């Protein structure tokens, strides 16, 4: 079943490349819808109370050095899998009017989907790394070909930055690989075996080093202050669908890796470093929010807000509590939805009004009422208004932080004021106030833009009201991790 999720986009890529240009988007839509359907269909069979990996597939791939083709999902990866298939499908819909080199565009979107799905479902370090790197190249092209004015710089910066992050992680993978033979008697890359049998027996000194190495790799991807500088460039220059995938999914790879590998495999080191991590997380949250206040470009503001919101993921993980970790995973899911709405809206505004500069915009709400409504709801969700999805996850992170760090939680809580500040200010400056006549004719949303946006907004409301539909999947697995961590807490 899980193998299908990887194979179907590959077939889609082949079809797109072989058939005519005008079929590309239809095929893209079909072959991203099928994985979405499969991942939702799995919901029926997924047992939330079972904390083992489910739907497992395990074959030998390269037996000589112990590489296996091992797939499986649990409560941490399943929500992210749904998010991936959903956002790629919606990005394809949103990109319906792309004209330039359409064939390659949709093929690249599908390749990115393969990589991200692979990262979330693979349970073998080697496989994990392969998928992790597959994402880079198509994203490089996506930014480099369809990007904004400064695309060359942004594309290569993104490429080099995240590649350095991932090869540092590769060194960590190699180091852990060579620990397997002395401890369990054979070489393996299998994550499950390593987590259960190898990682607990690694010397504490090596655990510390490995934790930091993996943390570096994931922190670049997430990105965590001070490794975030690639993000604003890449997000701003990327085409809208690229930004959606970058912020909605690529950042989640970092967060997922943090929880799945760094925290779960090296619980001892996680406990050791939990306070510094929390401090870095809070710096990320506050710094991201402050920088947002200063932004002129709407898209850049949304990009920096991602840094702030991904800080919550790290904060939740560093709280070491079940509720904090569930909050972190849930925050990744919700941030994926919200940030997709906001980036799509940036794309819409740029497309319709011709600019994203807040000082140039103004008073466009009467011209595009639906768009204004969606943007307002998206912003409110992002700033954590109760009743919308992000409130729940941020609240959970706060609660987790309170358990661990007691009243210090006041600092991240206060950041919500900043977040509210920059969003409301941006809404006011762009949609309301006097109309800027130099903008000319501004129209409301096209149909292909409206459909994905309304799906996302609906989901935000549904999840905000009934968070349990996602949370009951996440919590058992998070509890499992927190028990693991508890054994090392003092």
Residue pair 331/379 in contact by the 8 Å Cβ criterion: no
Which of 160, 417, 462, 469 touches another protein by CB under 8 A?
A: 160
Contact flag: residue 137 with another protein (CB under 8 A): yes
User: What SS3 class is residue 122?
Assistant: strand
Number of H helices and number of E strands within the chain? 21, 2
Answer yes or no whether residue 484 interacts with another protein by CB under 8 A. no
What's phi and psi for 296, nearest 5 deg?
Answer: -95, -35
Q: For another protein, which is the closer residue by CB, 105 or 405?
A: 105
- Give the count of residues interacting with another protein (CB under 8 A): 30
Residue closer to another protein by CB (options 129, 333) is 129
Q: Which of 129/391 has CB closer to another protein?
A: 129
Nearer to another protein (CB atom), residue 69 or residue 435: 69
19 belongs to the binding site for another protein (CB under 8 A): no
With binding defined as CB under 8 A, does residue 11 bind another protein?
no
Shortest Å, Cβ 170 to another protein: 7
Based on the shown chain and the rule CB under 8 A, indicate whether residue 183 belongs to the binding site for another protein: no
Reported residue count of the chain is 490
Q: Which is nearer to another protein, 61 or 432 (CB)?
A: 61
Q: Residue 356 — φ and ψ, nearest 5°?
A: -115, 0
First-last CA distance in the chain: 42
Told to check if 133 binds another protein by CB under 8 A, we report: yes
Nearest residue (CB) to another protein, 21 versus 152 = 152
Task: Judge whether 127 and 61 are in contact, CB under 8 Å.
Answer: yes
Token match 């943390």: residue?
A: 215
Residue closer to another protein, measured from CB, 15 or 398: 15
Per CB under 8 A, 4 contacts another protein: no
| Cα 47 from chain centroid (whole Å) | 24
Alpha-carbon gap, residue 396 to 168, rounded angstroms? 32
Residue 164, interface with another protein (CB under 8 A)?
A: yes
Residue burial 45-78, b: 16+ Cβ < 10 Å; e: rest: ebebeebebbbebeeeeeeeebbbbbbbbbbbbb
Among 413, 412, 426, 336, which residue's Cα sits nearest to residue 380?
Answer: 426
| Site membership for another protein, residue 156 (CB under 8 A) | yes
Residue 415 φ/ψ, nearest 5 degrees:
-60, -25
Q: Are 367 and 422 in contact (CB under 8 A)?
A: no
By CB under 8 A, name the one of 15, 78, 140, 211 that touches another protein: 140
Whole-angstrom Cα distance, residue 112 to residue 223?
19
What angle separates helix 468-486 from helix 77-94, to the nearest 10 degrees?
140
Name the segment binding another protein (CB under 8 A); options: 169-177, 241-249, 369-377, 441-449.
169-177
Using CB under 8 A, which of 4, 19, 40, 62 touches another protein? Answer: 62
**Whole-number Å distance between alpha carbons of 31 and 357:** 36
Give, as ranges, the residues between 111 and 130 that touch another protein (CB under 8 A): 129-130
Residue number, 133 or 297, with CB nearest to another protein: 133
202 alpha-carbon distance from chain centroid: 30
Q: Using the Cα atoms of residue 233, residue 148, residue 142 and residue 382 in order, give the sign of their dihedral.
A: positive
Query: Residue 129 or residue 211: which is nearer to another protein going by CB?
Result: 129
Asked if 78 interacts with another protein (CB under 8 A), we say no
Q: Is 175 in the site for another protein (CB under 8 A)?
A: yes
Instruction: Determine which residue in the list 10, 14, 145, 439 makes contact with another protein, applying CB under 8 A.
Output: 145
Reduced to 3 states (helix: H, G, I; strand: E, B; else coil), residue 185 is coil
Rounded to the nearest whole angstrom, what is the least distance from the CB of residue 20 to another protein in the complex? 15
Residues whose CB falls within 8 Å of the CB of residue 8, separated by 6 or more in sequence, listed in order? 31, 34, 35, 38
Q: Binding to another protein by residue 148, rule CB under 8 A? A: no
Q: Which of 14, 57, 170, 183 binds another protein (CB under 8 A)?
A: 170
Q: Is residue 152 a contact point for another protein (CB under 8 A)?
A: yes
- By C-beta, is 103 or 309 nearer to another protein? 103
Q: Which residues bind another protein (CB under 8 A)?
A: 61-65, 129-130, 133-134, 136-137, 140-141, 144-145, 152, 155-156, 159-160, 163-164, 167-168, 170-171, 174-175, 177-178
């Amino acid at each position: 079943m899980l193998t299908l999720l990887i194979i179907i986009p590959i077939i889609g890529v082949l079809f797109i490349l072989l058939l005519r240009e005008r079929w590309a988007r239809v095929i893209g839509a079909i072959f991203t819808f099928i994985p979405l359907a499969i991942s939702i269909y799995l919901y029926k069979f997924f047992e939330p109370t079972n904390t083992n990996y489910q739907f497992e597939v395990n074959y030998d791939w390269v037996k000589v050095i112990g590489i296996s083709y091992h797939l499986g999902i649990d409560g941490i990866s399943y929500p992210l899998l749904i998010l991936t298939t959903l956002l790629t499908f919606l990005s394809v819909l949103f990109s319906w009017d792309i004209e330039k080199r359409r064939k390659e565009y949709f093929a690249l979107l599908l390749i990115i989907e393969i990589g991200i799905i692979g990262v979330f479902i693979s349970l073998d370090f080697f496989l994990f790394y392969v998928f992790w790197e597959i994402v880079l190249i198509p994203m490089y092209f996506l930014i480099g070909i369809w990007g904004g004015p400064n695309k060359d710089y942004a594309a290569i910066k993104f490429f080099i930055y995240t590649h350095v992050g991932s090869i540092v992680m590769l060194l960590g993978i190699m180091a852990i690989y060579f620990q397997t033979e002395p401890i369990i008697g054979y070489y393996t890359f299998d994550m499950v075996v390593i987590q259960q049998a190898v990682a607990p027996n690694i010397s504490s000194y090596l655990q510390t080093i490995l934790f930091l190495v993996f943390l570096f790799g994931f922190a670049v991807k997430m990105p965590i202050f001070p490794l975030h500088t690639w993000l604003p460039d890449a997000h701003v220059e990327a085409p809208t669908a690229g930004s959606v995938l970058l912020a909605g999914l690529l950042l989640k790879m970092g967060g997922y890796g943090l929880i799945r590998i760094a925290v779960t495999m090296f619980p001892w080191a996680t406990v050791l470093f939990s306070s510094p991590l929390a401090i870095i997380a809070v710096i990320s949250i506050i710094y991201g929010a402050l920088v947002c206040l200063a932004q002129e470009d709407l898209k850049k503001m949304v990009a920096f807000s991602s840094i702030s919101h991904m800080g919550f993921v790290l904060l939740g993980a560093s709280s070491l509590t079940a509720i904090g970790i569930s909050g972190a995973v849930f925050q990744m899911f919700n941030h994926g939805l919200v940030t997709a709405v906001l980036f799509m809206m940036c794309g819409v505004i740029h497309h319709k009004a011709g600019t994203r500069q807040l000082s140039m915009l103004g008073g466009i709400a009467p011209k595009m009422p639906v768009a204004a409504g969606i943007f307002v709801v998206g912003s409110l969700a992002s700033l954590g208004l109760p009743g919308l999805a992000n409130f729940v996850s941020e609240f959970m992170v706060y609660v987790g932080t309170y358990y661990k760090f007691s009243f210090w939680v006041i600092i991240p809580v206060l950041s919500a004021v900043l977040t509210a500040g920059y969003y409301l200010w941006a809404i006011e400056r762009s949609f309301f106030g006097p109309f800027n006549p130099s903008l000319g004719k501004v129209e409301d949303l096209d149909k292909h833009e409206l459909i994905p946006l309304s799906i996302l907004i609906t989901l935000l409301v549904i999840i905000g009201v009934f968070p349990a539909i996602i949370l009951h999947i996440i919590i058992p697995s998070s509890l499992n991790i927190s028990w693991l961590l508890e054994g090392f807490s003092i």
